[in-house]
Structure 1
Amino acid sequence: MWSGKFNLLFISALLVFVSLPSEGDESNQTSSPDLWADFPEETSAGNDWSDTESASSPWNVLIFTEVLVGGFTNEGLFEDNLYGDDASALENRWQVNANRYFGTSFFNASIELLADEVDDNHLQLLVRELYVDHNLRKDLSLRAGQQVLTWGTGDFVFLNDLFAKDWQAMFSGRDDAYLKASSASIKLTYYHNVANLDFVWTPIFTSDHYINGERFGYFSPMSGETSSQTFTAKEPDTQLEHGEFAFRLFKTVDGIEYALYGYRGFYKQPLGFDPVEGRNTFPRLNSWGASVRSSLGAGIANMEIAYWDSREDRSGDDPLIPNSKWQTLLGYEQELIQKLTLGMQWWLQITENYDAQKANSPQPDYHQSKYHHTLTARITYLTLSDKLTWSLFSFYSPSSDDFYLKPKVSYRRDDHWLFELGGNLFGGADEYTQWGQFEESSNIYTRVRYHF
C-alpha cells in the first residue's frame, strides 16, 4: 500500500550500511557520551553525539541520517483505518550540524533534508537551528536566530515552558528531542550574584505543531466524533505587537534550583474558535509561575506552579475561548536499583469560573472536570553495558479515565548505529478526552540512525 517512495528509504539505509567500518577498524571510532537524555537543553536533535574537532579546520561538523517507519495498530497491525492509509510514519532524514567560534562569538547551524512520504510535501529542506551566540558584556549574553528553547522542571508536562512543541513528532516516534520545536527568537541572559535572568522575544508568534488531521485524527466537538479532516487555524497577524515575550529569573542556592517565570503571547494550540470565519484561533494568554528542584532522599524532587490567564475570557462565560486555570506539578525521580530508574509526576489543573463555562457551553459534557488530575510514570532500565535501554513513559488521568503509553527499546551498537523500536498507544472511556480521542492513532514504529 505504501508507494514507491519507500525505495528511497531503503536505498538510503543500504548506502549507510555499506559505509559502516568493520569492527576491527578503530580509526573512525569516537568516544560516546550519554545518548539517552530526552531533552538536552537548547541543542539540536542529534547533537548528543560528540565529535572531535578537526585540527585542520575550526568547524565542528556532525552528520547523521535516519530512517523512521511506523504503522497504525487500529483494527490490527498495519490495517486500513480511519485515515485511509496504514503508515503513521515513513521518512528519511539527513541532518548536518556545523558550528564554530568567530572570536568571542559562536555560530551554530543544523540543516535537515527530509523525505516524508506521509506528508504531502515529500521532500523538505528544514532549518532546525541557525543562530549566533555573542557576549555583549561579561555579564550579558545574546543568542539570536532559529533556536530550540526550553525551561521548567516537567517531564513531558509543560506548565511554564510555553515555547513551541511538535506533537506530531512525538506521536509519530521521532526522537524525543524533536518534541521541542524551534523558533526565530532573540534571547538575552543576564548574570548577577543575586539571580540570573533569561529574556526571550519571539517577534512572530510560533504555534505548536498541533494535531490537525494531517497525520493523526482528533475529536471534533461539532461532529461529536473523531475526525481526520485537515484544518488550518487562524494565526495572529505577523505584527510586532503580536510577538511573544517570556522571562525566567533563576538561581541555585545550596544545591536547590529556584525559578520564576512569565509569558505574554497566545495559547500555543488553537483552542479558540471564530464563528464568523468558522476557524479555530489562538486566544491571547498571560502566564506566571515558579518552580523549585532539589535532591530529596535518594532521588530528585521538583515542584512547579503556573497560572494561565486567558486574557480574552477572564469571566469564563465565553464558550469559544478557554478559561483561565491554575496548574500544579509535583515530581520525584529515584534509582530504585542499579540501572533501574523510576520517575513519577502528579499534575493538577484547576479551571476558573467552571460553572460559567458549563452554563454557557453548547456541549458541556465535552469539558474536562474542574479539578483535572494526571499521573505520569517513567521507568528506565539500562542493560548490556548501557547499550540497551528499556523504557516506558505513561500518562493516566483518573479524572478522564484515559491514557497514553510510550514504550520503547533502544540499542546503541557503537558510536555510529542506533536502533529503536517503540509505540504510541492511546485509549480511554470516552473519545472526547485528551488521550481518548487519539485511540485510532495508536501506532508502532522502528527508527534507525547512523552517525558519520
Structure 2
Amino acid sequence: MEPSPMRPKRLLPLLLVLGLSAGAATAADEGLDDLFDLDADPAAASGADQASGPRVSGHAEFGAAYTWPDDGHWSKLRGRLELGVGASLGPRSRYKLSARADVDAAYDLEDGYYPRAVRRDQRSGFMIREAYADFGTGDWEFRLGRQHVVWGEMVGLFFADVVSARDLREFYLPEFEALRTPQWAVRAEHFGEDTHLELLWIPVPSFDEVGKPGADFYPFPLPAGTRVKERDTSATLSNTNWGLRLSRLIDGWDLAAYHYRSRDVSPTLYALDGGTRFELRHDRIQQTGFTLSKDLGSLVLKGEAVYTGGRSFSTTDPAARYGLHDSDTLDYVVGLDIPVRDVWRFNLQYYERVFYDHERLMPNDRHEGGMTFLVNRSFGDALEAELLYVASLNRSDYMLRPKLVWRIAPEWRGVFGADLFGGRTDGIFGRYDERDRVYIELRRWF
C-alpha cells in the first residue's frame, strides 16, 4: 500500500517548528549556571536560611510528532507552558508553587483519525505540578503538599519508583521528569550521619493517566470507542497510601529499603457482565523494595527489586472472575553505567518480572525478562547523540529510540528523534508496531 500524500495543512506544523528552531539559534548566550538553577530547590541557593523574595522560573515547549505506518498522521502538535514560584520564608522554611498547561492541536487537525473520547481527553490539560511548604526542626525536615517522591530511577522503565503516578498517554516516551505526576503528601525525613529515614502519608492519591480506547498508546486491547468506566476511589482513611523508606551508606554502597501500602497507581481492567462492560480499578496492594548503588572506579552499578502483593492480571480462563487471576510478583533490575573519556556513555540493564502464582492461560510467561542498552555520545558542549534499545527476551519485541539533542544556547534546547516499535503484537512493545513516529521538540527555559 502506497503512503497517502501529505496534505498541505499537515505541512504547516513542521514548517513552524523549523522556523522556531532557526530563530532560537540566534538567542543570546548566557551562563550554564543560570540554566541549571532555574528548577533548583530554593533551599540550595546561598542565603536560604534568610527570607527572600519570590523567584519565578519555568519553561515553554513546543513538540510535534508524526506517526507514519499505514495511515500517517500528526500524533502531537503540543504547546506547553510550565511556571513556578518559590521563596525562602526564613530559617529552614520555604515554599514552592508550580503549574503546567498544554494545548495539542493534533486532535483537532486529525479529527477524522482519533475517536471523540480521545480528542476530548488529550487536546488540552492543566496540572498543579508542585504546591508545598518545607520546614525543619532538629534532625527532621518536613514537606507538606503536592510534591515529587522518587524512590528509584533506572534507564527507560520504572521499577522501584512506586510512589509516583505517571501520565502514560505517550507510553514511557517523554522525559521522566515530565511524565511523573506528583502526589499530595505529608513527608517527614530524618537525617543522620550515614542514615536517612523517610516517612510518607498520601491522603488523596493520584493515579496513572492511560487515556481512552483508540489512543495511540492505550495499554489494553480494546477496540476504539469502547466505553470504559474508571471506578472512583473514595476519600476515606482506608484508601490513603503510606510508606517508609530507610537508606544508609555502608562502605561506599548506597543501600535503601522501603515498604509501601497503597491503592495501585496502575489500573487493572475488570471485565464485567461476561465481558460486555469494562471498568478500571485501583486495587489495594503492598510493596516491599530494595535499591542499591555503588561506584566501581569509573563505573556505576545500580540495582532495584520490588515484591508486590495484591495485584491481578488478565487471563483467558473462562472460569476466572472478571477475567483476572491473582498473583504476587517480583520485579528486579540490575544495570551498569560506563562512561568513557568524558564523551561516551554506555548503560546496560537486565530486568525480569516473576509471577509466583502463574497459570497457563495468562498471556505472559512465569518469568518475563528483558534488557536495555543505551549509548550516548557528546560532540562538544552543543551536540549530543543517543540511542536507547529496550527489548523483551521472551517475545523478541523491542523499542528503539535514536535522538539528537542540540543545545542551541544555554536557555534553548532542540531535540529531534524517532520512536520505533517492533516484534510480536502480544508484547509490551510489539503491540505498538503501528505507532512508529518521528518527533521534534523545542524548549526555552526562563
TM-score in same-fold range (> 0.5): yes
Cα displacement (A) at 1:321: 4.3
Which of 329, 339, 346 in structure 2 is aligned with 1:342? 346
Q: Secondary structure at the match of 2:238?
A: helix
Which of 370, 373, 396 in structure 2 is aligned with 1:401? 396
Q: Pick closer, same or farther for the CA change 1:244–1:5 going to 2, 3 Å.
A: farther
For 1:312 and 1:399, locate their aligned partners in 2 and report how far apart those are by CA, in whole Å.
Answer: 21
Q: Pick closer, same or farther for the CA change 1:16–1:126 going to 2, 3 Å.
A: farther
Question: Residue 231 of structure 2 corresponds to which residue in structure 1?
Answer: 234
Question: Residue 134 of structure 1 corresponds to which residue in structure 2?
Answer: 135
Q: Pick closer, same or farther for the CA change 1:192–1:413 going to 2, 3 Å.
A: same
For 2:225 and 2:432, locate their aligned partners in 1 and report how far apart those are by CA, in whole Å.
Answer: 11
Residues 306 and 332 of structure 2 are in contact (CA less than 8 Å); yes or no, is this contact kept in structure 1? Answer: yes
How many matched pairs? Answer: 413
What is the identity percentage for the equivalent residue pairs of Structure 1 and Structure 2?
Answer: 18
Cα displacement (A) at 1:154: 2.3
Which of 409, 426, 431 in structure 2 is aligned with 1:432? 426
Higher mean C-alpha displacement, 147-156 vs 304-313: 304-313
Cα displacement (A) at 1:146: 1.6
For 2:258 and 2:152, locate their aligned partners in 1 and report how far apart those are by CA, in whole Å.
Answer: 9
Q: 1:14-413 residue pairs with structure 2 within 5 A?
A: 29-32=30-33, 47=39, 58-75=53-70, 79-80=71-72, 86-103=73-90, 104-117=92-105, 118=107, 119-120=119-120, 122-135=123-136, 137-162=137-162, 163-170=164-171, 174-193=174-193, 195-213=195-213, 215-218=215-218, 220=220, 227=224, 229=226, 231-273=228-270, 275-276=272-273, 278-310=278-310, 319-354=323-358, 357-358=359-360, 364=361, 367-383=363-379, 385-413=380-408
Q: Pick closer, same or farther for the CA change 1:57–1:281 going to 2, 3 Å.
A: closer
Cα displacement (A) at 1:294: 0.2
Q: Pick closer, same or farther for the CA change 1:218–1:439 going to 2, 3 Å.
A: farther
For 1:308 and 1:250, locate their aligned partners in 2 and report how far apart those are by CA, in whole Å.
Answer: 20
User: What TM-score, normalized by structure 1, do the two folds share?
Assistant: 0.80
Residues 142 and 188 of structure 2 are in contact (CA less than 8 Å); yes or no, is this contact kept in structure 1? Answer: yes
Q: Pick closer, same or farther for the CA change 1:175–1:375 going to 2, 3 Å.
A: closer
Unaligned 5+ segments in structure 1 are: 36-42, 81-85, 359-363
CA RMSD of aligned residues (A): 3.6
Q: Secondary structure at the match of 1:203?
A: strand
Residues 160 and 262 of structure 1 are in contact (CA less than 8 Å); yes or no, is this contact kept in structure 2? Answer: no
Residues 347 and 373 of structure 2 are in contact (CA less than 8 Å); yes or no, is this contact kept in structure 1? Answer: yes
Write the letter of the residue equivalent to 2:291: S
Which of 408, 415, 435 in structure 2 is aligned with 1:441? 435
Q: Pick closer, same or farther for the CA change 1:436–1:230 going to 2, 3 Å.
A: farther
Residues 144 and 187 of structure 1 are in contact (CA less than 8 Å); yes or no, is this contact kept in structure 2? Answer: yes
Larger strand share, 1 or 2: 2
For 1:108 and 1:301, locate their aligned partners in 2 and report how far apart those are by CA, in whole Å.
Answer: 34
User: What TM-score, normalized by structure 2, do the two folds share?
Assistant: 0.81
For 2:336 and 2:170, locate their aligned partners in 1 and report how far apart those are by CA, in whole Å.
Answer: 26
Q: Secondary structure at the match of 2:409?
A: coil
Residues 411 and 418 of structure 1 are in contact (CA less than 8 Å); yes or no, is this contact kept in structure 2? Answer: yes
Q: Pick closer, same or farther for the CA change 1:391–1:249 going to 2, 3 Å.
A: same
Write the letter of the residue equivalent to 1:436: G
Cα displacement (A) at 1:123: 4.5
Unaligned 5+ segments in structure 2 are: 1-5, 108-118
Residues 216 and 228 of structure 1 are in contact (CA less than 8 Å); yes or no, is this contact kept in structure 2? Answer: no
